[in-house]
């Protein structure tokens, strides 16, 4: 990377579909799930669900409205790079990048769909966009992420009876990056743990491949043993990548102005801020309002922190997350330049 080229995260805007759905909604379906009392699945008070006919492209278009309002249509439509991540692609054979570009009025040189980043996809997209822009592949980039599995997978008739169903929520976010020193990305760390890539599985009863016709509805194949491993990996990986970034920017984690992470459950949130020696007021989350937002968690929480005045011009914010069963983790530090309007 050209050391003289600075790339900034200029702004982010978000979208939450529909009215909030309370924990009581899932309580009425609660079945005798043996994992019901596991701390991994302690339900948030509320979450949002994508509408039955709402696509990931619809969600991204609605999330982009804030950016367009503040920066103008040309700032989005004229971006040279579009990087997207969709938890549940509208069409299984390809991602949503092309459709999102068209809906946003874009004709970018680069359209890249990411899938391996999972809950850390926003960080991975920031690193990729930063590298492309810093090496002369464009002047600006748009990152678009959509989490739409809660209302589609976890609200199926048989799946909603499981403890895991009450935790996820849906949402989308769009970020704007540019070659600029206004709100510089200070450093990014991404790590792949390929040895864990097969540990997240789809379970169906009776068993079949996910694409085969059948009567059973698919859900995440959690077991007590798998959950124990995921908790151990997540508790370790998010602090590790955060410390790596802090080391390179010459900053102690306890001196960060704000920590923004993904939000699988309350236990992870508590353990991560304790590992980084940060008080609760320096770690923002929307878990009780939105549940587990997967890849949308970081940008939704970042947007909320900016809107509420918790992130001010000149503050250093650390964004960190791990994905799936621990096969990927990433962290990125930004010196926030402020929101202009």
151 prior amide bond cis, ω within 30: no
Would you tell me how many other CB atoms lie within 10 Å of the CB of residue 254?
Answer: 11
**What span, in angstroms and rounded, lies between the C-alpha atoms of 124 and 322?**
11
pLDDT of residue 38: 83
**What span, in angstroms and rounded, lies between the C-alpha atoms of 262 and 54?**
24
Are 305 and 260 in contact by the 8 Å Cβ rule? The answer is yes
**What span, in angstroms and rounded, lies between the C-alpha atoms of 252 and 257?**
11
The answer for 309, left when phi > 0, alpha when psi is -120 to 50, beta otherwise, is left
**What span, in angstroms and rounded, lies between the C-alpha atoms of 308 and 199?**
38
**What span, in angstroms and rounded, lies between the C-alpha atoms of 90 and 318?**
31
Would you tell me how many other CB atoms lie within 10 Å of the CB of residue 216?
Answer: 14
Q: Which of 131, 86, 66, 75 is nearest to 108 (CA)?
A: 75
Report the b/e string of 164-190 with b at 16+ CB within 10 A: bbbbbbbbbbbbbbbbbebbbbbbbbb
Encode the chain (341 residues) as per-residue pLDDT tens digits. 445 799 999 999 999 999 999 999 998 888 777 887 788 889 999 999 999 999 999 999 999 999 999 999 999 999 999 999 999 999 999 999 999 999 999 999 999 999 999 999 999 999 999 999 999 999 999 999 999 999 999 999 999 999 999 999 999 999 999 999 999 999 999 999 999 999 999 999 999 998 999 999 999 999 999 999 999 999 999 999 999 999 999 999 999 999 999 999 999 999 999 999 999 999 999 999 999 999 999 999 999 999 999 999 999 999 999 999 999 999 999 999 999 76
Three-state SS for 115? coil
Q: Which of 264, 55, 26 is nearest to 159 (CA)?
A: 26
- Direct distance between the N- and C-terminal alpha carbons of the chain, in angstroms, rounded to an integer: 31
pLDDT of residue 3: 56
Domains and CATH numbers, the chain: 7-181 (3.40.47.10), 186-335 (3.40.47.10)
SS3 content of the chain, % helix, strand, coil (to 5): 35, 25, 40
Would you tell me how many other CB atoms lie within 10 Å of the CB of residue 32?
Answer: 6
Would you list the DSSP string of 195-232? GGTTS--EE-SS---TTS--SSPPEE---HHHHHHHHH
In the sheet that holds 258-261, the strands lie side by side as 185-192, 328-335, 316-323, 258-261, 283-284
């Amino acid at each position: 990377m050209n050391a003289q080229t600075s790339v900034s995260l200029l702004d982010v805007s978000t979208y939450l579909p529909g009215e909030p759905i309370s924990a009581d909604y899932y309580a009425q379906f609660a079945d005798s799930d043996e994992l019901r009392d596991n701390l991994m699945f302690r339900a948030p008070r509320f979450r949002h669900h994508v509408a039955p006919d709402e696509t990931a492209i619809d969600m991204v278009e609605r999330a982009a409205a804030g950016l367009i309002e503040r920066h103008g249509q040309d700032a989005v439509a004229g971006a040279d790079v579009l990087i997207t991540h969709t938890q549940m692609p509208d069409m299984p054979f390809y991602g949503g990048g092309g459709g999102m570009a068209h809906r946003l009025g874009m004709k970018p040189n680069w359209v890249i769909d990411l899938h391996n980043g999972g809950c850390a996809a926003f960080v991975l997209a920031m690193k990729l966009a930063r590298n492309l822009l810093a090496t002369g592949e464009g002047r600006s980039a748009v990152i678009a992420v959509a989490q739409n599995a809660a209302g589609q997978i976890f609200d199926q008739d048989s799946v909603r009876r499981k403890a895991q169903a009450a935790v996820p929520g849906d949402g989308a976010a769009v970020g704007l990056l540019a070659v600029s020193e206004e709100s510089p990305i200070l450093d990014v760390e991404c790590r792949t743990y390929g040895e864990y890539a097969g540990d997240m599985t789809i379970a169906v009863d009776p068993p079949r491949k996910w694409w085969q016709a059948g009567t059973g509805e698919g859900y995440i194949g959690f077991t007590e043993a798998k959950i124990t491993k995921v908790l151990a990996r997540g508790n370790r990986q998010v602090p590790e990548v955060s410390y790596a970034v802090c080391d390179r920017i010459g900053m102690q984690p306890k001196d960060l102005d704000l920590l923004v992470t993904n939000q699988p459950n309350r236990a992870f949130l508590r353990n991560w801020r304790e590992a980084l020696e940060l008080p609760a007021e320096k770690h923002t989350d929307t878990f009780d309002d939105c549940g587990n937002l997967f890849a949308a968690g970081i940008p939704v929480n970042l947007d909320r922190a900016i809107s509420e005045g918790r992130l001010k011009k000149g503050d250093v914010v650390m964004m960190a997350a791990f994905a799936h069963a621990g096969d990927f983790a990433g962290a990125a530090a930004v010196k926030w330049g402020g929101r202009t309007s």
